[in-house]
Amino acid sequence: MKKKMLKVLLVIGLVGAVAANGVVYAIEDITSECGIVMEQITGRVLFEKCADEEMYVASITKILTAIIAIENAELDDWVDIASEDVHQVGSSLYLVDGDRMLLEDLLYGLMLRSGNDAAWAIARYVGGGDVAVFVALMNEKAAEIGMTNSLFQNPSGLDETTYNLSTARDMALLQRYAMNNPIFREITYESLYETTSEQGKRFVWKNKHRLLNGRYEHAISGKTGYTEQAKRTLVTSANNGEIELVAVTIKGGNDWNDHTRMFEYGFKNFELRQVLEIGELQMLEDDLLELAGFDRLFVREERSVFVRPGEYVRKHLVMENLDNEEAVGVLEILIDDEVVDQIDVYAFFDAPTNSWWGRIVDWIVGS
- Of residues 32, 114, 150, 237, which has the active-site annotation? 114
Please give the Cα distance from 35 to 138 (Å, whole number).
22
3-class state of residue 74 by DSSP: coil
- Of residues 32, 49, 59, 315, which has the active-site annotation? 59
Q: Are 158 and 88 in contact (CB under 8 A)?
A: yes
- Of residues 62, 141, 231, 315, which has the active-site annotation? 62
Is 91 catalytic? The answer is no
Please give the Cα distance from 65 to 107 (Å, whole number).
9
Contacts (Cβ under 8 Å, ≥6 apart) of 231:
33, 58, 250, 251, 252
Please give the Cα distance from 358 to 367 (Å, whole number).
11
Please give the Cα distance from 297 to 204 (Å, whole number).
57
Q: Are 223 and 209 in contact (CB under 8 A)?
A: yes
Question: For residue 26, which of 49, 52, 51, 46 has the smallest C-alpha distance?
Answer: 46
Contacts (Cβ under 8 Å, ≥6 apart) of 49:
29, 30, 32, 33, 34, 35, 36, 168
User: Quick count: other Cβ atoms within 10 Å of Cβ 87?
Assistant: 12
Contacts (Cβ under 8 Å, ≥6 apart) of 22:
none
Q: Taking phi first (over 0 means left), then psi (-120 to 50 degrees means alpha), and beta for anything else, what does residue 233 get?
A: beta
84 sits in which H/E element? helix 83-86
Q: Are 308 and 269 in contact (CB under 8 A)?
A: yes
Is 191 catalytic? The answer is no
Is 59 catalytic? The answer is yes
Q: How far is CA 84 from CA 87, 103, 332, in A?
A: 5, 17, 52
> Counting beta carbons within 10 angstroms of the beta carbon of residue 241, is it exposed (0 to 12), middle (13 to 18) or buried (19 or more)?
exposed
Give the catalytic positions in this structure.
59, 62, 114
